[in-house]
Amino acid sequence: MAPHADMALTSPNSNGHFNSATSPPKDLSFVVDSPNVEYTDNEILSKYTYRTTAVTWDGGKHVVTPKETVYNFKVDRRIPKVGMMLVGWGGNNGSTVTAGIIANRRGLAWDSREGPRSANYYGSVLMGSTIKLGTRAGSGKVMNKTGTGVSNKDFNIPFHNILPMVHPNDLVIGGWDINNMDLSRAMDRAGVLEPTLKAQIRKEMASMVPLPSIYYPDFIAANQEDRANNILSGSTASMAHVDQIRQDIREFKAQNGLDKVIVQWTANTERFSDIIPGVHDTADNLLKAIAGGHPEVSPSTVFAVACILEGTPFINGSPQNTFVPGAIALAERHDAFIGGDDFKSGQTKMKSALVDFMINAGLKLTSIASYNHLGNNDGKNLSAQKQFRSKEISKSNVVDDMVEANSVLYKEGEHPNHTVVIKYMPAVGDSKRALDEYYSEIFMGGHQTISIFNVCEDSLLASPLIIDLVLVAEMMTRIQWRLQTGDDDYKGFHSVLSILSYMLKAPLTPPGTPVVNALAKQRSALINIFRACVGLEPESDMTLEHKLF
- CATH number of the domain to which 382 belongs: 3.30.360.10
Q: pLDDT at residue 310 above 60?
A: yes
Asked if residue 473 and residue 358 are part of one domain, the reply reads no
pLDDT at 403: 87
64-73, 155-164, 252-261, 400-409: which range is least confident on average? 400-409
11-25, 167-181, 315-329, 381-395: which range is least confident on average? 11-25
Mean pLDDT of 456-482: 96
Q: pLDDT at residue 7 above 80?
A: no
Asked if residue 424 and residue 437 are part of one domain, the reply reads yes
Where is the domain boundary, 410, 437, 458? 458
Asked if residue 96 and residue 245 are part of one domain, the reply reads yes
Residue 5, domain member (yes or no)? no
Residue 547, domain member (yes or no)? no
Nearest by Cα to 464 from 193, 124, 4: 124
Mean pLDDT of 225-244: 96
Determine the 3-state secondary structure of 464 from DSSP.
Answer: helix
Asked if residue 380 and residue 334 are part of one domain, the reply reads no
Q: What is the Cα–Cα distance from 501 to 469, expressed in whole angstroms?
A: 9
pLDDT at 383: 72
Asked if residue 256 and residue 191 are part of one domain, the reply reads yes
Mean pLDDT of 196-203: 97
The two most distant CA atoms of the chain are separated, in Å, by 74
Asked if residue 399 and residue 450 are part of one domain, the reply reads yes
pLDDT at 222: 86
Nearest by Cα to 352 from 399, 308, 418: 399
Strand partners, 483: 71
Query: CATH code at 500?
Result: 3.30.2360.10
Q: pLDDT at residue 396 above 90?
A: no
- Nearest-10 Cα torsion for 479, 481, 487, 488: -80
- In contact, 316 and 263? CB cutoff 8 Å: no
Where is the domain boundary, 314, 340, 366? 340
Mean pLDDT for all residues in the chain:
89
Q: What is the Cα–Cα distance from 206 to 107, expressed in whole angstroms?
A: 19
Residue 68, domain member (yes or no)? yes
Asked if residue 309 and residue 190 are part of one domain, the reply reads yes
Report how far apart, in Å, the C-alpha atoms of 131 and of each of 79, 136, 192, 516, 526 are.
Answer: 21, 15, 31, 21, 11
pLDDT at 504: 93
Nearest by Cα to 503 from 463, 474, 540, 535: 463
Residue 28, domain member (yes or no)? no
Residue 334, domain member (yes or no)? yes
Give the residue numbers marked as catalytic: 342, 391, 432, 505
pLDDT at 20: 31
- pLDDT band (50, 70, 90) for residue 500: very high
The DSSP annotation for 499-521 comes to: GGGGGBSS----TTS-----HHH
pLDDT at 266: 95
pLDDT at 149: 52
Q: pLDDT at residue 420 above 80?
A: yes
Pairing of β 431-441 and β 364-374: antiparallel
Name every residue whose Cβ is closer than 8 Å to that of residue 486 and which is 6 or more positions away in sequence. none
Name every residue whose Cβ is closer than 8 Å to that of residue 413 and which is 6 or more positions away in sequence. none
Q: pLDDT at residue 514 above 70?
A: yes
Range of the domain at 379: 347-458
- Count CA atoms within 13 Å of residue 61 on its CB side: 3
Q: What is the Cα–Cα distance from 159 to 308, expressed in whole angstroms?
A: 29
Residue 540, domain member (yes or no)? no
Asked if residue 524 and residue 405 are part of one domain, the reply reads no
Query: CATH code at 100?
Result: 3.40.50.720
Mean pLDDT of 351-362: 91
Name every residue whose Cβ is closer than 8 Å to that of residue 72 and which is 6 or more positions away in sequence. 45, 46, 47, 48, 481, 482, 483, 484, 490
Residue 176, domain member (yes or no)? yes
Report how far apart, in Å, the C-alpha atoms of 329 and of each of 289, 317, 335 are.
Answer: 15, 20, 10
Asked if residue 211 and residue 249 are part of one domain, the reply reads yes
Where is the domain boundary, 410, 429, 458? 458
Asked if residue 298 and residue 177 are part of one domain, the reply reads yes
- pLDDT band (50, 70, 90) for residue 28: low
Residue 538, domain member (yes or no)? no
Determine the 3-state secondary structure of 434 from DSSP.
Answer: strand
Number of structural domains the chain divides into: 4
Rama region for 59: left / alpha / beta (φ>0; ψ in -120 to 50; rest) = left
Nearest by Cα to 416 from 434, 437, 433, 388: 437
Q: pLDDT at residue 348 above 50?
A: yes
Angle between helices 458-476 and 92-105 (to 10 degrees): 70
Q: pLDDT at residue 141 above 80?
A: no
Asked if residue 105 and residue 190 are part of one domain, the reply reads yes
pLDDT at 428: 87
Residues of the chain with pLDDT > 70, as a percent, come to 90
Asked if residue 223 and residue 197 are part of one domain, the reply reads yes
